[in-house]
Amino acid sequence: MFGLDDKIAALSSGDVFLIVIAVAVLLGLRHATDPDHLTAVTTLVASGEERGPGRAARLGLAWGFGHATTLFLFGLPIVLANSYLPKTAQEIAELAVGVMIVVLAARLLVRWHRGELRPHSHTHRTRSAGQAYGIGLVHGVGGSAGVGVLLLAAIHNHVESVAALFVFAFFTAISMSIASASFGYGMSRGPVLTRFMRVAPVMGALSLAFGAWYALGAVGAVPYAF
Cα separation, 11 vs 215, in Å, equals: 32
Evaluate whether residue 10 is within a structural domain: no
pLDDT score for 121: 53
For residue 22, the tally of other CB atoms under 10 A from its CB is 16
In this structure, of 9-13, 73-77, 207-211, 218-222, the range with the lowest mean pLDDT score is: 9-13
Evaluate whether residue 224 is within a structural domain: no
Evaluate whether residue 199 is within a structural domain: yes
Between 120 and 90, the more confident residue is: 90
Evaluate whether residue 6 is within a structural domain: no
Evaluate whether residue 36 is within a structural domain: yes
Amino acid letter, 132:
A
Evaluate whether residue 169 is within a structural domain: yes
Between 21 and 167, the more confident residue is: 167
Evaluate whether residue 133 is within a structural domain: yes
- Ordered DSSP codes for the chain: -TTHHHHHHTT--SS-HHHHHHHHHHHHHHHTT-HHHHHHHHHHHHTSS--SHHHHHHHHHHHHHHHHHHHHHHHHHHHHH-----HHHHHHHHHHHHHHHHHHHHHHHHHHHTTTTSTT--------HHHHHHHHHHHHHTTHHHHHHHHHHH---HHHHHHHHHHHHHHHHHHHHHHHHHHHHHHHSHHHHHHHHHHHHHHHHHHHHHHHHHHHHHTTSS----
Find the largest Cα–Cα distance for the chain: 58
pLDDT confidence band for 122 (50 / 70 / 90): very low
Mean pLDDT of 129-156: 72
Q: What mean pLDDT value characterizes the chain?
A: 76
Q: Which domain holds residue 125?
A: 16-218
Between 142 and 96, the more confident residue is: 96
pLDDT confidence band for 118 (50 / 70 / 90): low
Is the pLDDT confidence value at 37 over 80? no
Name the domain count of the chain: 1
Q: Is residue 142 within 8 Å of residue 94, measured between CB atoms?
A: yes
Is the pLDDT confidence value at 226 over 50? yes
Evaluate whether residue 61 is within a structural domain: yes
pLDDT confidence band for 212 (50 / 70 / 90): very high
Is the pLDDT confidence value at 46 over 80? no
Mean pLDDT of 75-91: 78
Mean pLDDT of 13-17: 55
